[in-house]
Protein backbone atom coordinates (compact mmCIF):
# COMPACT_ATOMS: atom_id res chain seq x y z
CA UNK A 1 0.00 0.00 0.00
CA UNK A 2 1.19 3.53 -0.83
CA UNK A 3 2.14 5.51 2.29
CA UNK A 4 0.63 8.98 2.37
CA UNK A 5 1.49 11.94 4.49
CA UNK A 6 -1.61 12.52 6.61
CA UNK A 7 -2.57 15.36 8.96
CA UNK A 8 -1.52 14.99 12.61
CA UNK A 9 -3.24 12.15 14.47
CA UNK A 10 -6.37 12.91 16.47
CA UNK A 11 -6.61 12.67 20.22
CA UNK A 12 -9.43 10.82 21.95
CA UNK A 13 -12.82 12.52 22.35
CA UNK A 14 -14.31 12.95 25.85
CA UNK A 15 -17.01 10.34 25.07
CA UNK A 16 -17.78 7.90 22.25
CA UNK A 17 -19.32 9.35 19.12
CA UNK A 18 -20.44 8.01 15.79
CA UNK A 19 -19.75 9.12 12.23
CA UNK A 20 -21.90 8.13 9.30
CA UNK A 21 -19.47 8.09 6.39
CA UNK A 22 -20.76 9.14 2.98
CA UNK A 23 -17.77 7.99 0.93
CA UNK A 24 -19.76 8.37 -2.33
CA UNK A 25 -21.67 11.47 -1.16
CA UNK A 26 -25.35 11.48 -2.10
CA UNK A 27 -24.82 9.57 -5.36
CA UNK A 28 -27.12 6.60 -5.85
CA UNK A 29 -28.25 4.37 -8.71
CA UNK A 30 -31.86 4.63 -7.49
CA UNK A 31 -34.27 7.54 -7.27
CA UNK A 32 -36.57 6.67 -4.36
CA UNK A 33 -39.20 9.35 -4.38
CA UNK A 34 -39.03 10.18 -0.68
CA UNK A 35 -35.22 10.12 -0.25
CA UNK A 36 -34.01 13.19 1.67
CA UNK A 37 -30.36 12.72 0.80
CA UNK A 38 -30.31 12.73 -3.03
CA UNK A 39 -30.89 16.49 -3.00
CA UNK A 40 -27.51 17.06 -1.30
CA UNK A 41 -25.91 16.76 -4.75
CA UNK A 42 -27.05 20.40 -5.19
CA UNK A 43 -24.69 21.53 -2.42
CA UNK A 44 -21.66 20.67 -4.59
CA UNK A 45 -20.44 21.94 -8.00
CA UNK A 46 -21.57 20.17 -11.20
CA UNK A 47 -18.17 18.60 -11.85
CA UNK A 48 -17.69 17.26 -8.32
CA UNK A 49 -15.68 14.03 -7.99
CA UNK A 50 -17.78 12.07 -5.54
CA UNK A 51 -15.47 9.26 -4.52
CA UNK A 52 -13.70 9.97 -1.22
CA UNK A 53 -9.95 10.08 -1.99
CA UNK A 54 -7.58 7.50 -0.46
CA UNK A 55 -5.90 10.21 1.56
CA UNK A 56 -9.15 11.36 3.12
CA UNK A 57 -10.32 7.79 3.63
CA UNK A 58 -7.18 6.82 5.50
CA UNK A 59 -7.23 10.02 7.56
CA UNK A 60 -10.84 9.33 8.48
CA UNK A 61 -10.20 5.73 9.49
CA UNK A 62 -7.08 6.49 11.48
CA UNK A 63 -8.63 9.51 13.19
CA UNK A 64 -11.93 7.86 13.95
CA UNK A 65 -10.23 4.91 15.65
CA UNK A 66 -7.87 7.16 17.60
CA UNK A 67 -10.70 9.45 18.74
CA UNK A 68 -12.84 6.71 20.27
CA UNK A 69 -12.17 6.48 24.01
CA UNK A 70 -13.36 2.86 24.29
CA UNK A 71 -11.95 -0.45 23.03
CA UNK A 72 -14.60 -0.84 20.29
CA UNK A 73 -15.03 1.18 17.12
CA UNK A 74 -18.11 1.00 14.91
CA UNK A 75 -17.85 2.25 11.36
CA UNK A 76 -20.93 2.93 9.26
CA UNK A 77 -20.84 3.50 5.51
CA UNK A 78 -23.94 4.86 3.90
CA UNK A 79 -24.74 7.05 0.96
CA UNK A 80 -25.86 7.53 -1.54
CA UNK A 81 -25.17 3.94 -2.43
CA UNK A 82 -21.81 2.65 -1.16
CA UNK A 83 -21.69 -0.36 -3.51
CA UNK A 84 -21.13 2.15 -6.36
CA UNK A 85 -17.57 2.47 -5.00
CA UNK A 86 -16.84 -1.18 -5.87
CA UNK A 87 -15.50 -4.05 -3.77
CA UNK A 88 -11.86 -2.97 -4.16
CA UNK A 89 -12.62 0.34 -2.47
CA UNK A 90 -13.85 -1.51 0.59
CA UNK A 91 -10.82 -3.80 0.51
CA UNK A 92 -8.86 -0.59 1.07
CA UNK A 93 -11.20 0.33 3.92
CA UNK A 94 -10.47 -2.98 5.63
CA UNK A 95 -6.73 -2.63 5.03
CA UNK A 96 -6.70 0.88 6.58
CA UNK A 97 -8.78 -0.35 9.52
CA UNK A 98 -6.28 -3.14 10.20
CA UNK A 99 -3.33 -0.79 9.81
CA UNK A 100 -4.67 1.70 12.38
CA UNK A 101 -6.68 -0.54 14.72
CA UNK A 102 -4.14 -0.26 17.54
CA UNK A 103 -5.67 -3.25 19.34
CA UNK A 104 -9.24 -1.92 19.21
CA UNK A 105 -12.10 -4.09 18.03
CA UNK A 106 -13.49 -2.86 14.71
CA UNK A 107 -16.99 -3.40 13.39
CA UNK A 108 -18.35 -2.15 10.10
CA UNK A 109 -21.94 -1.56 9.11
CA UNK A 110 -22.89 -1.01 5.52
CA UNK A 111 -26.25 0.33 4.36
CA UNK A 112 -27.24 -0.64 0.82
CA UNK A 113 -30.23 -0.75 -1.50
CA UNK A 114 -28.98 -4.23 -2.46
CA UNK A 115 -29.45 -3.88 -6.19
CA UNK A 116 -25.75 -4.16 -7.11
CA UNK A 117 -24.83 -7.04 -4.83
CA UNK A 118 -23.33 -10.14 -6.45
CA UNK A 119 -21.16 -13.11 -5.51
CA UNK A 120 -18.04 -10.98 -5.19
CA UNK A 121 -19.80 -8.63 -2.77
CA UNK A 122 -21.32 -11.54 -0.88
CA UNK A 123 -17.93 -13.19 -0.37
CA UNK A 124 -16.30 -9.94 0.68
CA UNK A 125 -19.02 -8.90 3.12
CA UNK A 126 -19.08 -12.33 4.75
CA UNK A 127 -15.30 -12.63 4.94
CA UNK A 128 -14.97 -9.26 6.66
CA UNK A 129 -18.00 -9.61 8.95
CA UNK A 130 -19.71 -6.51 7.65
CA UNK A 131 -23.17 -6.02 9.09
CA UNK A 132 -25.38 -5.17 6.14
CA UNK A 133 -28.48 -3.02 6.39
CA UNK A 134 -30.73 -3.77 3.45
CA UNK A 135 -33.23 -1.09 2.42
CA UNK A 136 -36.47 -2.80 1.52
CA UNK A 137 -39.96 -1.41 2.00
CA UNK A 138 -42.07 -4.57 1.85
CA UNK A 139 -43.54 -6.98 -0.68
CA UNK A 140 -43.25 -6.17 -4.38
CA UNK A 141 -46.26 -3.91 -4.88
CA UNK A 142 -45.54 -1.93 -1.69
CA UNK A 143 -41.78 -1.63 -2.25
CA UNK A 144 -42.11 -0.66 -5.90
CA UNK A 145 -44.58 2.15 -5.24
CA UNK A 146 -41.79 4.59 -4.34
CA UNK A 147 -38.44 2.77 -4.55
CA UNK A 148 -37.65 3.19 -8.22
CA UNK A 149 -34.51 3.62 -10.35
CA UNK A 150 -33.43 6.71 -12.28
CA UNK A 151 -35.82 5.81 -15.08
CA UNK A 152 -38.72 5.34 -12.68
CA UNK A 153 -38.63 1.54 -13.02
CA UNK A 154 -39.38 -0.81 -10.10
CA UNK A 155 -36.47 -2.26 -8.14
CA UNK A 156 -37.94 -5.03 -5.99
CA UNK A 157 -36.61 -7.88 -8.15
CA UNK A 158 -33.04 -6.55 -8.06
CA UNK A 159 -33.24 -6.11 -4.27
CA UNK A 160 -34.42 -9.69 -3.86
CA UNK A 161 -31.56 -10.80 -6.09
CA UNK A 162 -29.19 -8.89 -3.78
CA UNK A 163 -30.77 -10.59 -0.78
CA UNK A 164 -30.13 -13.93 -2.46
CA UNK A 165 -26.39 -13.18 -2.45
CA UNK A 166 -26.44 -12.11 1.19
CA UNK A 167 -28.14 -15.35 2.19
CA UNK A 168 -26.00 -17.50 -0.08
CA UNK A 169 -22.83 -16.17 1.58
CA UNK A 170 -24.37 -16.07 5.05
CA UNK A 171 -23.86 -12.34 5.47
CA UNK A 172 -25.41 -10.96 8.64
CA UNK A 173 -28.11 -8.47 7.66
CA UNK A 174 -30.93 -6.38 9.03
CA UNK A 175 -33.66 -4.57 7.15
CA UNK A 176 -34.48 -0.89 7.02
CA UNK A 177 -38.02 -0.05 6.00
CA UNK A 178 -39.18 3.49 5.43
CA UNK A 179 -42.63 4.32 6.72
CA UNK A 180 -44.07 6.75 4.22
CA UNK A 181 -47.51 7.67 2.89
CA UNK A 182 -47.76 4.32 1.08
CA UNK A 183 -46.07 1.80 3.35
CA UNK A 184 -47.89 3.10 6.45
CA UNK A 185 -51.07 1.54 5.10
CA UNK A 186 -49.68 -2.00 5.23
CA UNK A 187 -48.13 -2.66 8.66
CA UNK A 188 -48.94 -6.35 9.00
CA UNK A 189 -48.31 -7.20 5.38
CA UNK A 190 -44.87 -5.62 5.67
CA UNK A 191 -44.08 -7.23 9.03
CA UNK A 192 -45.05 -10.67 7.75
CA UNK A 193 -43.06 -10.15 4.58
CA UNK A 194 -39.90 -9.04 6.40
CA UNK A 195 -40.04 -12.12 8.60
CA UNK A 196 -40.63 -14.32 5.56
CA UNK A 197 -37.40 -13.15 3.91
CA UNK A 198 -35.43 -14.05 7.03
CA UNK A 199 -34.98 -10.60 8.58
CA UNK A 200 -34.60 -10.86 12.33
CA UNK A 201 -33.59 -7.23 12.94
CA UNK A 202 -36.11 -4.71 11.70
CA UNK A 203 -35.90 -0.93 11.55
CA UNK A 204 -38.86 1.27 10.70
CA UNK A 205 -37.88 4.83 9.83
CA UNK A 206 -40.58 7.52 9.49
CA UNK A 207 -40.42 9.77 6.43
CA UNK A 208 -41.10 13.32 7.58
CA UNK A 209 -40.32 15.80 4.82
CA UNK A 210 -41.98 19.13 4.12
CA UNK A 211 -42.28 20.89 0.79
CA UNK A 212 -39.35 23.14 0.02
CA UNK A 213 -39.14 26.48 1.89
CA UNK A 214 -37.30 29.69 1.01
CA UNK A 215 -34.09 28.76 2.85
CA UNK A 216 -33.80 25.38 1.13
CA UNK A 217 -34.90 26.70 -2.26
CA UNK A 218 -31.97 29.18 -2.17
CA UNK A 219 -29.62 26.19 -1.91
CA UNK A 220 -31.38 24.43 -4.79
CA UNK A 221 -32.83 21.73 -2.51
CA UNK A 222 -36.13 19.87 -2.88
CA UNK A 223 -37.32 19.68 0.74
CA UNK A 224 -37.61 22.21 3.57
CA UNK A 225 -34.56 22.90 5.75
CA UNK A 226 -34.72 21.83 9.43
CA UNK A 227 -36.74 24.12 11.72
CA UNK A 228 -35.04 26.86 13.73
CA UNK A 229 -35.99 25.78 17.24
CA UNK A 230 -34.92 29.05 18.85
CA UNK A 231 -37.19 31.17 16.64
CA UNK A 232 -40.75 30.34 15.74
CA UNK A 233 -41.71 31.20 12.16
CA UNK A 234 -43.69 34.41 11.59
CA UNK A 235 -46.74 32.54 10.36
CA UNK A 236 -48.56 29.79 12.25
CA UNK A 237 -49.68 28.03 9.08
CA UNK A 238 -49.78 24.25 9.06
CA UNK A 239 -46.64 22.78 7.52
CA UNK A 240 -46.95 21.80 3.88
CA UNK A 241 -45.89 18.17 3.97
CA UNK A 242 -44.35 16.36 1.01
CA UNK A 243 -46.85 14.02 -0.64
CA UNK A 244 -44.78 11.01 0.46
CA UNK A 245 -44.51 11.96 4.15
CA UNK A 246 -46.13 9.68 6.71
CA UNK A 247 -49.29 11.26 8.22
CA UNK A 248 -48.75 12.50 11.79
CA UNK A 249 -51.07 9.99 13.49
CA UNK A 250 -50.67 7.07 11.10
CA UNK A 251 -47.10 6.20 12.04
CA UNK A 252 -48.21 5.42 15.61
CA UNK A 253 -51.00 3.14 14.38
CA UNK A 254 -48.52 1.39 12.12
CA UNK A 255 -46.20 0.70 15.06
CA UNK A 256 -49.05 -0.37 17.35
CA UNK A 257 -50.31 -2.95 14.85
CA UNK A 258 -46.87 -4.48 14.48
CA UNK A 259 -46.20 -4.33 18.22
CA UNK A 260 -49.39 -6.25 18.98
CA UNK A 261 -48.30 -9.07 16.69
CA UNK A 262 -44.76 -9.02 17.98
CA UNK A 263 -45.63 -9.07 21.67
CA UNK A 264 -47.87 -12.09 21.24
CA UNK A 265 -45.60 -14.20 19.04
CA UNK A 266 -42.13 -12.90 18.32
CA UNK A 267 -40.44 -11.48 21.43
CA UNK A 268 -36.91 -12.89 21.58
CA UNK A 269 -37.15 -14.16 18.00
CA UNK A 270 -37.54 -10.95 16.01
CA UNK A 271 -35.86 -7.69 17.06
CA UNK A 272 -37.59 -4.46 16.19
CA UNK A 273 -35.17 -1.64 16.89
CA UNK A 274 -37.80 0.74 18.20
CA UNK A 275 -39.33 -1.85 20.54
CA UNK A 276 -35.92 -2.78 21.95
CA UNK A 277 -35.23 0.89 22.44
CA UNK A 278 -38.52 1.36 24.28
CA UNK A 279 -37.70 -1.49 26.66
CA UNK A 280 -34.33 0.10 27.31
CA UNK A 281 -36.15 3.31 28.26
CA UNK A 282 -38.47 1.46 30.61
CA UNK A 283 -35.42 -0.06 32.25
CA UNK A 284 -33.79 3.35 32.56
CA UNK A 285 -30.74 2.28 30.58
CA UNK A 286 -29.12 5.31 28.87
CA UNK A 287 -28.11 5.41 25.20
CA UNK A 288 -30.01 3.73 22.41
CA UNK A 289 -31.50 5.36 19.34
CA UNK A 290 -30.50 8.99 18.94
CA UNK A 291 -34.09 9.95 18.15
CA UNK A 292 -35.15 9.20 21.71
CA UNK A 293 -32.09 10.43 23.58
CA UNK A 294 -32.25 13.57 25.66
CA UNK A 295 -29.52 15.27 23.66
CA UNK A 296 -27.94 14.91 20.21
CA UNK A 297 -24.52 15.83 18.95
CA UNK A 298 -22.73 12.47 19.08
CA UNK A 299 -23.93 11.13 15.69
CA UNK A 300 -22.02 13.12 13.09
CA UNK A 301 -22.13 12.77 9.32
CA UNK A 302 -19.12 13.06 7.04
CA UNK A 303 -19.33 13.84 3.35
CA UNK A 304 -16.97 12.45 0.68
CA UNK A 305 -14.76 15.60 0.80
CA UNK A 306 -14.19 15.29 4.54
CA UNK A 307 -16.75 17.93 5.55
CA UNK A 308 -18.24 16.99 8.91
CA UNK A 309 -21.80 17.90 9.90
CA UNK A 310 -23.66 17.72 13.20
CA UNK A 311 -25.86 14.89 11.90
CA UNK A 312 -26.98 13.06 8.78
CA UNK A 313 -30.30 14.94 9.11
CA UNK A 314 -28.49 18.28 9.22
CA UNK A 315 -26.24 18.25 6.18
CA UNK A 316 -26.67 21.96 5.40
CA UNK A 317 -23.96 24.65 5.31
CA UNK A 318 -25.29 26.11 8.57
CA UNK A 319 -24.58 22.88 10.45
CA UNK A 320 -21.09 22.17 9.11
CA UNK A 321 -18.59 21.70 11.94
CA UNK A 322 -15.41 21.67 9.86
CA UNK A 323 -13.32 19.42 7.65
CA UNK A 324 -11.48 16.27 8.59
CA UNK A 325 -8.30 17.43 6.85
CA UNK A 326 -8.06 20.62 8.94
CA UNK A 327 -9.26 19.50 12.34
CA UNK A 328 -9.27 16.12 14.02
CA UNK A 329 -12.52 14.19 14.38
CA UNK A 330 -12.19 14.14 18.17
CA UNK A 331 -11.94 17.93 18.23
CA UNK A 332 -14.92 18.28 15.91
CA UNK A 333 -17.03 15.91 18.00
CA UNK A 334 -16.20 17.85 21.18
CA UNK A 335 -16.38 21.29 19.54
CA UNK A 336 -18.65 24.04 20.91
CA UNK A 337 -20.78 23.76 17.73
CA UNK A 338 -21.43 20.05 18.24
CA UNK A 339 -22.13 20.55 21.96
CA UNK A 340 -24.51 23.45 21.37
CA UNK A 341 -26.36 21.47 18.69
CA UNK A 342 -26.67 18.49 21.02
CA UNK A 343 -27.82 20.49 24.01
CA UNK A 344 -30.41 22.43 21.97
CA UNK A 345 -32.45 19.26 21.64
CA UNK A 346 -33.11 19.33 25.40
CA UNK A 347 -33.13 23.08 26.02
CA UNK A 348 -35.70 23.83 23.32
CA UNK A 349 -38.14 21.12 24.38
CA UNK A 350 -41.59 22.70 24.74
CA UNK A 351 -43.32 22.67 28.15
CA UNK A 352 -45.90 20.30 26.68
CA UNK A 353 -43.12 17.71 26.20
CA UNK A 354 -41.45 18.43 29.52
CA UNK A 355 -44.72 17.57 31.25
CA UNK A 356 -45.57 14.61 29.03
CA UNK A 357 -45.95 11.23 30.75
CA UNK A 358 -43.92 9.46 28.04
CA UNK A 359 -41.18 12.03 27.80
CA UNK A 360 -38.70 9.59 29.35
CA UNK A 361 -39.16 7.35 26.29
CA UNK A 362 -39.68 9.98 23.59
CA UNK A 363 -37.70 13.08 24.56
CA UNK A 364 -39.41 15.01 21.79
CA UNK A 365 -37.80 12.78 19.12
CA UNK A 366 -35.62 14.24 16.37
CA UNK A 367 -35.25 18.05 16.26
CA UNK A 368 -35.59 17.90 12.48
CA UNK A 369 -39.22 16.92 12.96
CA UNK A 370 -40.10 19.64 15.50
CA UNK A 371 -42.00 22.08 13.37
CA UNK A 372 -45.50 22.20 14.82
CA UNK A 373 -47.17 24.01 17.71
CA UNK A 374 -48.31 22.53 21.01
CA UNK A 375 -52.04 22.76 21.88
CA UNK A 376 -51.22 25.86 23.97
CA UNK A 377 -49.40 27.52 21.07
CA UNK A 378 -45.74 26.88 21.87
CA UNK A 379 -43.43 26.38 18.90
CA UNK A 380 -41.26 23.31 18.41
CA UNK A 381 -43.50 20.30 18.97
CA UNK A 382 -42.64 17.19 17.02
CA UNK A 383 -44.84 16.55 13.98
CA UNK A 384 -45.05 12.89 15.03
CA UNK A 385 -46.16 13.68 18.60
CA UNK A 386 -49.63 12.08 18.20
CA UNK A 387 -47.94 8.90 16.98
CA UNK A 388 -45.51 8.73 19.87
CA UNK A 389 -48.16 9.46 22.48
CA UNK A 390 -50.24 6.66 21.03
CA UNK A 391 -47.41 4.18 20.69
CA UNK A 392 -45.63 4.69 24.03
CA UNK A 393 -48.89 4.68 25.98
CA UNK A 394 -50.06 1.59 24.18
CA UNK A 395 -46.91 -0.43 24.85
CA UNK A 396 -46.64 0.66 28.50
CA UNK A 397 -48.29 -2.41 30.13
CA UNK A 398 -46.27 -4.94 28.15
CA UNK A 399 -43.09 -2.88 28.62
CA UNK A 400 -43.62 -2.80 32.37
CA UNK A 401 -43.99 -6.57 32.45
CA UNK A 402 -40.94 -7.11 30.26
CA UNK A 403 -38.88 -4.68 32.32
CA UNK A 404 -39.87 -6.52 35.49
CA UNK A 405 -38.91 -9.86 33.91
CA UNK A 406 -35.58 -8.43 32.91
CA UNK A 407 -34.93 -7.14 36.43
CA UNK A 408 -35.70 -10.63 37.75
CA UNK A 409 -33.18 -11.97 35.24
CA UNK A 410 -35.90 -13.78 33.36
CA UNK A 411 -36.24 -13.55 29.57
CA UNK A 412 -38.57 -10.70 28.52
CA UNK A 413 -39.97 -13.22 26.00
CA UNK A 414 -41.95 -14.72 28.92
CA UNK A 415 -44.32 -11.81 28.40
CA UNK A 416 -45.87 -13.92 25.63
CA UNK A 417 -47.03 -16.49 28.19
CA UNK A 418 -47.88 -13.97 30.89
CA UNK A 419 -50.14 -11.74 28.82
CA UNK A 420 -52.80 -14.38 28.03
CA UNK A 421 -52.71 -16.05 31.49
CA UNK A 422 -55.00 -15.36 34.44
CA UNK A 423 -51.99 -14.09 36.40
CA UNK A 424 -51.23 -11.78 33.52
CA UNK A 425 -54.72 -10.40 33.64
CA UNK A 426 -54.29 -9.64 37.34
CA UNK A 427 -50.87 -8.12 36.70
CA UNK A 428 -52.32 -5.90 34.03
CA UNK A 429 -55.12 -4.81 36.32
CA UNK A 430 -52.54 -3.98 38.95
CA UNK A 431 -50.71 -1.84 36.44
CA UNK A 432 -53.79 0.23 35.89
CA UNK A 433 -53.28 3.36 37.93
CA UNK A 434 -55.64 6.25 38.30
CA UNK A 435 -54.67 8.61 35.49
CA UNK A 436 -55.56 11.66 37.52
CA UNK A 437 -54.61 10.90 41.10
CA UNK A 438 -51.88 8.30 40.35
CA UNK A 439 -53.42 5.76 42.77
CA UNK A 440 -54.30 2.16 42.02
CA UNK A 441 -57.30 2.12 39.73
CA UNK A 442 -60.74 1.50 41.19
CA UNK A 443 -63.74 -0.07 39.54
CA UNK A 444 -65.95 2.72 40.88
CA UNK A 445 -64.28 5.35 38.72
CA UNK A 446 -64.98 5.76 35.00
CA UNK A 447 -61.53 7.13 34.25
CA UNK A 448 -59.93 4.09 35.91
CA UNK A 449 -62.30 1.72 34.18
CA UNK A 450 -61.44 3.25 30.86
CA UNK A 451 -57.77 2.82 31.64
CA UNK A 452 -58.33 -0.83 32.61
CA UNK A 453 -60.28 -1.22 29.43
CA UNK A 454 -57.34 0.08 27.45
CA UNK A 455 -54.95 -2.28 29.19
CA UNK A 456 -57.05 -5.42 29.34
CA UNK A 457 -58.63 -4.84 25.96
CA UNK A 458 -55.18 -4.37 24.50
CA UNK A 459 -53.99 -7.72 25.75
CA UNK A 460 -57.13 -9.72 25.12
CA UNK A 461 -58.93 -7.81 22.41
CA UNK A 462 -61.98 -7.89 24.71
CA UNK A 463 -64.71 -5.37 24.03
CA UNK A 464 -65.16 -3.56 27.35
CA UNK A 465 -67.61 -0.70 27.18
CA UNK A 466 -67.79 1.87 29.90
CA UNK A 467 -70.42 4.51 30.16
CA UNK A 468 -68.72 7.31 32.11
CA UNK A 469 -72.08 8.78 33.17
CA UNK A 470 -72.99 5.58 35.03
CA UNK A 471 -70.01 5.83 37.36
CA UNK A 472 -70.13 9.48 38.24
CA UNK A 473 -66.66 10.61 37.12
CA UNK A 474 -67.28 11.84 33.64
CA UNK A 475 -65.51 15.16 34.03
CA UNK A 476 -62.04 13.80 34.64
CA UNK A 477 -61.74 14.80 38.30
CA UNK A 478 -59.96 12.55 40.77
CA UNK A 479 -62.49 10.42 42.61
CA UNK A 480 -62.38 10.11 46.38
CA UNK A 481 -62.10 6.31 46.53
S1 LIG B 1 -30.75 15.41 14.90
FE2 LIG B 1 -32.18 13.68 14.81
S3 LIG B 1 -31.12 12.07 13.61
FE4 LIG B 1 -29.62 13.61 14.29
S5 LIG B 1 -28.71 12.85 16.21
FE6 LIG B 1 -30.43 14.19 16.75
S7 LIG B 1 -32.20 12.85 16.90
FE8 LIG B 1 -30.63 11.72 15.80
S1 LIG C 1 -45.06 12.19 22.96
FE2 LIG C 1 -45.32 14.29 22.17
S3 LIG C 1 -45.48 15.56 24.02
FE4 LIG C 1 -44.61 13.58 24.65
S5 LIG C 1 -42.40 13.94 24.60
FE6 LIG C 1 -43.03 13.03 22.63
S7 LIG C 1 -43.33 14.76 21.27
FE8 LIG C 1 -43.34 15.57 23.37
Cα separation, 166 vs 171, in Å, equals: 5
pLDDT tens profile 324-344: 999 999 999 999 999 999 999
| pLDDT, mean of residues 48-60 | 96
The answer to whether 11 and 329 have CB atoms below 8 angstroms apart is no
The answer to whether 339 and 355 have CB atoms below 8 angstroms apart is no
Q: Which atom of ligand 2 is nearest to the CA of 382?
A: 7
- Give 211's strand partners: 223
Instruction: Answer yes or no: is pLDDT of 301 > 90.
Output: yes
What residues are annotated to the active site? 312
Instruction: Answer yes or no: is pLDDT of 10 > 80.
Output: no
b/e sequence 288-302, b meaning 16+ C-beta within 10 Å = bbbbbbeebbbbbbb
pLDDT of residue 4: 67
CB-count burial class (<10 Å; 0-12, 13-18, 19+) for 238: exposed
The answer to whether 53 and 109 have CB atoms below 8 angstroms apart is no
Radius of gyration for the chain, computed over Cα atoms and rounded to the nearest angstrom: 24
Is there a cis peptide before residue 80, judged by omega within 30 degrees of 0?
Answer: yes
Give percent helix, percent strand, percent coil of the chain, each to the nearest 5: 45, 15, 45
Residue 247: DSSP 8-state: P
| pLDDT, mean of residues 151-178 | 98
CA angle 151, 152, 156 (to 5 degrees): 115
Sign of CA pseudo-dihedral 111, 113, 116, 119:
positive
Does 181 contact ligand 2 (Cβ within 6 A)? no
Cα separation, 133 vs 106, in Å, equals: 17
| Torsion, Cα of 358, 364, 370, 375 (10° steps) | 40
Nearest CA to ligand 1 atom 4: 311
pLDDT of residue 45: 86
Q: Which atom of ligand 1 is nearest to the CA of 297?
A: 5
Instruction: Answer yes or no: is pLDDT of 465 > 50.
Output: no
Give me ligand 1 centre to Cα 445, in Å: 42
Testing ligand 1's pocket by substitution, the residue of 318, 368, 370 carrying the most ligand atoms inside 8 A of its CB is 368
pLDDT of residue 407: 92
Testing ligand 2's pocket by substitution, the residue of 278, 388, 390, 396 carrying the most ligand atoms inside 8 A of its CB is 388
pLDDT tens profile 200-232: 999 999 999 999 998 899 999 999 999 999 998
pLDDT of residue 470: 35
pLDDT of residue 441: 55
Instruction: Answer yes or no: is pLDDT of 321 > 60.
Output: yes
pLDDT of residue 155: 98
Mean residue pLDDT of the chain comes to 89
Give me ligand 2 centre to Cα 353, in Å: 5
pLDDT of residue 467: 36
Cα separation, 84 vs 301, in Å, equals: 19
Does 387 contact ligand 2 (Cβ within 6 A)? no
CB-count burial class (<10 Å; 0-12, 13-18, 19+) for 323: middle
| pLDDT, mean of residues 240-251 | 97
Q: Which atom of ligand 1 is nearest to the CA of 310?
A: 4
Give me ligand 1 centre to Cα 30, in Å: 25
Q: Spell out which residues line ligand 1, taking CB within 6 angstroms.
A: 290-291, 296, 299, 311, 313-314, 366-368
Cα separation, 301 vs 310, in Å, equals: 6
| pLDDT, mean of residues 238-266 | 96
Lowest average pLDDT, out of 88-92, 286-290, 360-364, goes to 286-290
pLDDT of residue 435: 46
Amino acid sequence: MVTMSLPAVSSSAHAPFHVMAKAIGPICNLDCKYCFYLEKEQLYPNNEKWKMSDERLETFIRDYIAAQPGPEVSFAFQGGEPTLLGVDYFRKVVAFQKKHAGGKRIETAFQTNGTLLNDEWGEFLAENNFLVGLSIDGPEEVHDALRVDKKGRPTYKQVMQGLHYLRKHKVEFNTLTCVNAVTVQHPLKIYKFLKSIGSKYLQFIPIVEREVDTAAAKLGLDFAAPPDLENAPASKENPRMSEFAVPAEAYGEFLVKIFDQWVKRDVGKVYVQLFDNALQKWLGIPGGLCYFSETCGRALAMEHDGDVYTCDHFVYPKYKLGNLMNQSLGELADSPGARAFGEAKRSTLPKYCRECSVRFACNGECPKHRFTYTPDGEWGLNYLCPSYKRFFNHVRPAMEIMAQLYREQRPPAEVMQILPSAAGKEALKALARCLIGNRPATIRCAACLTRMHMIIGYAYEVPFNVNPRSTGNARGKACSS
